[in-house]
Amino acid sequence: INADTKSLKQIAAESKILTKSAQEGNINPDLLAGGTFTVSNLGVLGIESFTPVINPPQTGILGVNCIVERVRSQNGQITVYPSMSLSLTYDHRALDGAPASRFLMDLKNALENFPVLLAGN
């Protein structure tokens, strides 16, 4: 609720509380209404890729997939690195492709520099 006004640390703490309440079946239904964006994490179940479906009237949903090892050539050497794909579904009536792409690029950069992101909180 009002995630745009909270730090990453605050969001993480509140998410844990809400998740526990939902799992125990005693979450306030009002807390499940009125959202504009959802994050769906199937990566914790080992899912490498999925297409999340928007919950109307929300405008977008981000699918978080599991981390897998990938191989690449770097400076003439083969290296193994951790990689995680993200799947973004959005309502094109509310959001154009360019801002959606910028959102994914910004998120990618934040995740690749996670210690810097945490230091800001």
| Residue positions annotated with a catalytic role | 92, 96
Contacts by residues 29-32 (CB-CB < 8 Å, ≥ 24 positions apart): 31/1
SS3 call for 108: helix
| Torsion (CA) 23, 28, 30, 33 in degrees, nearest 10 | 0
* 113 φ, ψ (degrees, to nearest 5): -120, 45
Indicate the DSSP class of residue 53: -
CA distance 74 to 118: 28
Half-sphere exposure of 59 (CA within 13 A, CB side): 9
